[in-house]
Amino acid sequence: MEKYVEYICQVEIPRLWGGRKHILWTLDPEVNVLSGANGIGKSTILRHVISGVKTLTKDSAGGVILKTYPEDATLLKFDIISTPDVRSEFDINLNELQERIVHYPHNSRWALFCDIVDELFAATGKTINRSADRVELIQWGEALDLRLLSSGEKQMLIILMTVLLEDGDHTILCMDEPEVSLHVEWQQVLIETIRRLNPNAQIIMSTHSPAIIMNGWLDKVTEVSDITVCGNASGNA
């Protein structure tokens, strides 16, 4: 029987930026936050990680080498979350997730998802309709058109719906600066909230927001300079 990857142990990128950098990143099974100044290469490194995850590359042929647990795993579940370049992409992403969530059972994980949404949206008087067959928000007794939500609200729903649909499975969750549209209070609880909804997700993310790591995640932060085995510290964002 084929095995699924539970988490990635190490990422190696031998020839980054034309061979000027060699990246060797030992990963935590739960949370990994790649930090550094703009332009140092966080997003470039994360894109290579995503490339390796998509192909489950375990040799240097693809330019990325992954070490996984279990070592003999041949299958991998992953999700990728990034901040859209234009507002309309939020709506496209939400619609795609809504189509998938229609089939999600109203079980204990759905109840937890609803609890989390209610907690996060309480300040604006929004609650979730727990009996609906998709994500429906209620404000002052009326159903809301999700297209009218703020970019931050849409981004948070996209993250939560994505993690809900992982259904508690071991999943590699890659996020490139997800805080861009989020209010600072939501940034502070983002990692904790994802972990509540799926404790089996391995988070691999880039950020330059101090708020993301404020609530006890400082020891999960890796600076780009710390994983650069050779080469200088200049790169592309």
Q: Which domains can be identified in the chain, with CATH numbers?
A: 7-230 (3.40.50.300)
183 contacts 120 by C-beta, under 8 angstroms? no
A 10 A CB-CB count for 10 gives: 12
**Residue 231 pLDDT more than 70?**
no
176 contacts 205 by C-beta, under 8 angstroms? yes
Least reliable range by pLDDT among 12-26, 109-123, 155-169: 12-26
Q: What are phi and psi of 203, to 5 degrees?
A: -90, 125
Q: Which amino acid is at 28?
A: D
Share of the chain above pLDDT 70, in %: 92
CA–CA gap between residue 145 and residue 186 (Å, rounded): 22
Task: Give the closest residue to 61 by CA, choosing from 14, 98, 105, 21.
Answer: 14
**Residue 152 pLDDT more than 80?**
yes
This prediction has a pTM of: 0.91
Residue 24's DSSP bridge partners are 12
23 contacts 36 by C-beta, under 8 angstroms? no
**Residue 149 pLDDT more than 50?**
yes
Average pLDDT over residues 194-219: 94
Residue of higher predicted confidence among 18 and 159:
159
196 contacts 115 by C-beta, under 8 angstroms? no
215 contacts 183 by C-beta, under 8 angstroms? no
CA–CA gap between residue 197 and residue 109 (Å, rounded): 7
Residue 50's DSSP bridge partners are none
Give the distance between the most distant pair of CA atoms in the chain.
59
Measured at the alpha carbon of residue 191, what is the angle toward residues 218 and 26, in degrees to the nearest 5? Answer: 55
Q: How many CA atoms lie within 13 A of 139 on its CB side?
A: 13
Least reliable range by pLDDT among 17-26, 69-78, 191-200: 17-26
Predicted pLDDT of residue 130: 96
